Structure 1
C-alpha cells in the first residue's frame, strides 16, 4: 500500500511517498481504508522532530486527522462493523477521565504512525463513527481541531447561555470554537488581522469582531462588550506569547482562559499577579478523550453542524498541502483527498 513517511533523517525534505505491506486486522482491531485527511499546525512541527523524543521514531507516517471506511474487523470487535465510516481518535489510549503519560504518548501522526496511508489498522477502542450528513472532507477535520475546541468550550469551559467568549483568530480550532460556543448560547467576539475573514465569521454567527492590526490593544477595545461583568467569561487563547498578556487584562475575575496555541511564541512575559488577584483559571487544552469526541459528534449530528473546509489536495500532493498550510492566509481546514 502507498504511504507518506518521514524516513532516513528528520526534516520536511525527508517526507516521501513509499510502499509498506498492507496490515491485517487482528483481535479487537479494525482495518480502515482512508478516504480523506486534514492538516493541523502540528503537521508542520512533526517532520522537524519539533516535539523532541515525544515526536516518535523513524520511519514515521504523519498526520493525525482523517476519515475512512471499515473494510475488515478482527475477532471480538463490537464498536464497529464493515462498511462503517469512522474517524480515528487523536489519542488512541485516552478513552475518558484524566490524562496520563500513556494517553499522551498515543497520539497519531507522532509518536504513533498517522493516517497518511491507504490502509490503517487500529484498536476498535480508538475509532468513532461519524455523522452521516458530513462529507468525507468535513469529517476528516474533526479529531484534532474539532475536539480541541469542544474540550475548551464544553468539557472544561462549561459555557452557559449568555456567557461572553473571545476567540482568537480564524484558524481551524477558532472556527470550531465559534460554532460550539454559539451552540451553547454564548455571545462570541472574534479577533483577527483580516477584515475579510472577520466578515466571514460574522456571517457564521460572531456577535462582535475586532481587527487586532488596526486596534492593537484589543483588550481595551473590548471593554464595552463586557462592561456588565468586567471582562470575558472565557477566552480561547491561541496566540501564546504576544496575546496572553492581553487575555489576562480582558478576562473577568473568576474567568477561564483556555490555553491551546502558542502561535506567537513560547515564552511568557505577563503579570502573574492578574491570575492570582482576579482568580483566573488558566486551563491548558491538548485535544481531548474519546468520550468527549463522541459527545462532540452527537452534538454535530443533532444540530447538523458542518466544519469549514478550505483548500483540498490529492494524496500525492501532501508536500504542497503542507506548504499551503505554512504560508497561511487560508480560511477553513486544509484537506487531503485519497
Structure 2
C-alpha cells in the first residue's frame, strides 16, 4: 500500500477545500483502515470549513466528512470478526485520520457496521451521523454533567429500543419530532416508532409528507401552513390533554426551539442539535416547571459516547437488514473528491428530504 493517499484537504479555517495528498495512517490495535467508496455531506462540514469547528483542536491541514462507507483495507492488531474486503459504514470523529473526505480512513472495529447485501454504499452511508445524533440525544441516560463545550454528556433518558425492555416501551405516549424530513429527523422518527410511541407528530413540508410518514410519523404538520409560533395549538388538537414528554428538534432555529419548549410537559425533555436559544432552558438542569433541555453531542468516537456507540453498532447491521432502520433518500452528486465542494455549495443553499452523497 502506498504511503500517501488522496484527500480533500482544508488548509485553514475559512479556506477553500483542495484535493491533495496526505500520509496514510497505520491501523493501530482495535482499528481498521477503510478504503472509502461513498461519503455523505452534512451541514457540519460547512461549519467545519467556515470556522475550523473541532478540527482546529488537532491542527491544520484538516479533513472533514462525518459519514463514510467502504471496504476494510487493513486490520489492526487484535481485530477479530472482520476480514479485509468487508463492506462497512462508520462515523468519523473530527481527527483528520478518522474523517471521510479522503481515500483511506481509520475507524475502531467496535464502531463499524457491516453493510447488508440489500444496501448500496450510497444508501448505507446516509446512516452514521444522522442515526448517532438521534440516538444519543434521545437514548443516553439523563445526566446533569456537561462537556467542556457546553453540550450535554447525557440525553433524554429513554430506554434504547435495541436494549432489553426498550422495544415498544412507550406505547400510548406522544413524541414530537421537528424537522422530520431532515436526516436526523428521519432517524429520530424511526427510533420513536421502535420505542412504541403511539402518536408521533412531525413537521415537514407537504412535499415531504409521504417521506416523513414512511419513517413512522402518524401526523405531519406543514410548517408553511402552520408557523412554529402556532404549533402548540395545532399539536393540542391532535393530543388533547395527553402529556408530551419527548420533543426532538432536528432543526433547532430559535423559532423551532421555542415551539418545542412550549410543547414539553413537566418531566419531559426537548433535545436540540444546535446551541440553545435564550428562550429555552439550560442544559444539564430542569427549569422551574420540571422540563429538561438536552443539547446533543453526537460523535460516537469520543470518550463520552464510545460505550454507547459500541452498543448501537453491535446491533446496527441487524436493524438495517430487518428494515427497522432505513437509510435516507439519496442524491448522488458525482464521483470523486473534487465534486464535494460544489455539493457543499448546494447543501448551503438548502436541501430537504434527501442526503447528498459522493462516490469514490
Query: What interval of TM-score do these two structures reach, taking the shorter chain for normalisation?
Result: 0.7 to 0.9
Task: Name the counterpart of 1:285.
Answer: 296
Task: Name the counterpart of 1:142.
Answer: 127
Mark the CA change 1:3 to 1:52 in structure 2 (over 3 Å): closer, same or farther.
closer
Mark the CA change 1:302 to 1:74 in structure 2 (over 3 Å): closer, same or farther.
same
Mark the CA change 1:203 to 1:130 in structure 2 (over 3 Å): closer, same or farther.
closer
SS of the residue corresponding to residue 11 of structure 1 reads: coil
State the alpha-carbon separation in 2 of the partners of residues 34 and 53 from structure 1.
Answer: 20
Alignment of 1:207-226 (within 5 A): 207-216=218-227, 217-226=230-239
Task: Name the counterpart of 1:163.
Answer: 173
Give unmatched runs, 5+ long, in structure 2: 141-156, 160-168, 301-308
Task: Name the counterpart of 1:251.
Answer: 264
Task: Name the counterpart of 2:351.
Answer: 329
Task: Name the counterpart of 1:119.
Answer: 104
Task: Name the counterpart of 1:101.
Answer: none
SS of the residue corresponding to residue 232 of structure 2 reads: helix
| TM-score in terms of structure 2 length | 0.78
Task: Name the counterpart of 2:137.
Answer: 152
8 Å contact kept, 1:60–1:113: no
8 Å contact kept, 1:89–1:128: no
The ranges of structure 1 where at least 4 consecutive aligned residues each deviate by more than 6 angstroms after the TM superposition are none
Judge which range, 76-85 or 39-48, deviates more: 76-85
Judge which range, 33-42 or 46-55, deviates more: 46-55
SS of the residue corresponding to residue 44 of structure 1 reads: helix
Say which of 38, 41, 44 aligns to 1:42. Answer: 44
Mark the CA change 1:175 to 1:214 in structure 2 (over 3 Å): closer, same or farther.
same
8 Å contact kept, 2:176–2:201: yes
State the alpha-carbon separation in 1 of the partners of residues 79 and 234 from structure 2.
Answer: 55
Q: Cα deviations across residues 283-319 of structure 1 (Å, max 9, x unaligned)?
A: 2322243323334443333345321223112222001
Task: Name the counterpart of 1:276.
Answer: 287
Query: Aligned pair 1:10/2:13, yes or no?
Result: yes
Number of residue pairs the alignment of both structures matches:
313
Give unmatched runs, 5+ long, in structure 1: 91-106
State the alpha-carbon separation in 2 of the partners of residues 334 and 70 from structure 1.
Answer: 23
State the alpha-carbon separation in 1 of the partners of residues 316 and 109 from structure 2.
Answer: 19
Say which of 212, 234, 255 aligns to 1:201. Answer: 212
Give the deviation of 1:111 after TM superposition. Answer: 6.5
Task: Name the counterpart of 1:242.
Answer: 255
State the alpha-carbon separation in 1 of the partners of residues 56 and 240 from structure 2.
Answer: 44
Mark the CA change 1:37 to 1:27 in structure 2 (over 3 Å): closer, same or farther.
same
Mark the CA change 1:221 to 1:86 in structure 2 (over 3 Å): closer, same or farther.
same
Task: Name the counterpart of 1:77.
Answer: 79
